[in-house]
Amino acid sequence: MTALINARTIGLNAARSAVDTAVAVATSLGVPVCVAVVDRAGHLLAYGRMDSAPLLSAQIALDKAYTVAAFGLPTHEWFDLIKDEPALLHGIVKTDRLVVFGGGVPVTVDGELVGAVGVSGGSTKQDRLIAESGAAAAVPQSVSTSGGVT
Amino acid sequence: MTALINARTIGLNAARSAVDTAVAVATSLGVPVCVAVVDRAGHLLAYGRMDSAPLLSAQIALDKAYTVAAFGLPTHEWFDLIKDEPALLHGIVKTDRLVVFGGGVPVTVDGELVGAVGVSGGSTKQDRLIAESGAAAAVPQSVSTSGGVT
Amino acid sequence: MTALINARTIGLNAARSAVDTAVAVATSLGVPVCVAVVDRAGHLLAYGRMDSAPLLSAQIALDKAYTVAAFGLPTHEWFDLIKDEPALLHGIVKTDRLVVFGGGVPVTVDGELVGAVGVSGGSTKQDRLIAESGAAAAVPQSVSTSGGVT
Amino acid sequence: MTALINARTIGLNAARSAVDTAVAVATSLGVPVCVAVVDRAGHLLAYGRMDSAPLLSAQIALDKAYTVAAFGLPTHEWFDLIKDEPALLHGIVKTDRLVVFGGGVPVTVDGELVGAVGVSGGSTKQDRLIAESGAAAAVPQSVSTSGGVT
**Is the pLDDT assigned to residue C131 strictly greater than 90?**
yes
Q: What is the mean pLDDT of residues D26-39?
A: 98
**pLDDT value of residue A140:** 76
Largest CA distance in chain A: 53
Q: What is the mean pLDDT of residues B40-56?
A: 98
Length of chain D: 150
**pLDDT value of residue D145:** 44
Compute the CA torsion angle B46, C62, B72, C14 (nearest 10 deg).
120
ipTM tops 0.85 = yes
Name every chain C residue with its beta carbon within 8 A of the beta carbon of B139. Answer: 3-4
User: How many whole angstroms separate alpha carbon A106 and alpha carbon A112?
Assistant: 9
- The second-level CATH assignment, the architecture, of D12-138 is 2-Layer Sandwich (3.30)
Strands (E), B11-98: 34-39, 44-49
State CA B17 to chain mean position distance. 14
* DSSP secondary structure of C5-43: EEEEEE-HHHHHHHHHHHHHHHHHHT---EEEEEETTS-
- In three-state secondary structure terms, A120 is strand
Q: What does pLDDT average to over chain A?
A: 93
The pTM (predicted TM-score) of the whole model is 0.93
**pLDDT value of residue B145:** 39
| Minimal-distance CA residue of chain B relative to C14 | B3
Write the pLDDT tens digit of every residue in A78-128. Answer: 999 999 999 999 999 999 999 999 999 999 999 999 999 999 999 999 999
Phi and psi for A131 in degrees, rounded to 5? -65, -40
A101 → closest Cβ in B5, B41, B91: B91
**Is the pLDDT assigned to residue C63 strictly greater than 50?**
yes
Q: How confident is the model at residue D23 (pLDDT cuts 50, 70, 90)?
A: very high
Axis-axis angle for helices D12-29, D124-138 (nearest 10): 140
**pLDDT value of residue A50:** 98
**Is the pLDDT assigned to residue C2 strictly greater than 90?**
no
**pLDDT value of residue C143:** 47
Q: What is the mean pLDDT of residues D1-28?
A: 95
Say whether B98 and A56 touch across the interface (CB within 8 A).
yes
Closest among B127, B63, B57 to B96, alpha carbons compared: B63
Q: How confident is the model at residue A2 (pLDDT cuts 50, 70, 90)?
A: confident
Q: How confident is the model at residue C142 (pLDDT cuts 50, 70, 90)?
A: very low
Cα-Cα end-to-end distance for chain A: 18
Write the pLDDT tens digit of every residue in B71-122. Answer: 999 999 999 999 999 999 999 999 999 999 999 999 999 999 999 999 999 9
Write the pLDDT tens digit of every residue in C17-61. Answer: 999 999 999 999 999 999 999 999 999 999 999 999 999 999 999
State the burial class of residue C97 (Cβ atoms within 10 Å of its Cβ: 0-12, 13-18, 19+): middle
**pLDDT value of residue C147:** 41
- Listed by number, the residues of chain D in 60-119 with a beta carbon closer than 8 Å to a beta carbon of chain C are 60, 76, 78-79, 83, 89-90, 93-94, 99-102
HSE-CB at B77 with a 13 A cutoff on CA atoms is 8
Q: How many CB atoms lie within 10 A of CB C137?
A: 20
What share of chain B in percent tops pLDDT 70?
92
- In three-state secondary structure terms, D6 is coil
**pLDDT value of residue B150:** 37
Say whether A48 and C12 touch across the interface (CB within 8 A).
yes
User: How many whole angstroms separate alpha carbon C40 and alpha carbon C66?
Assistant: 9
Domain range annotation of chain B: 12-138
D11 → closest Cβ in B15, B51, B58: B51
**pLDDT value of residue A146:** 44
Helices within chain A (DSSP H only): 12-29, 56-71, 78-82, 86-91, 124-138, 141-144
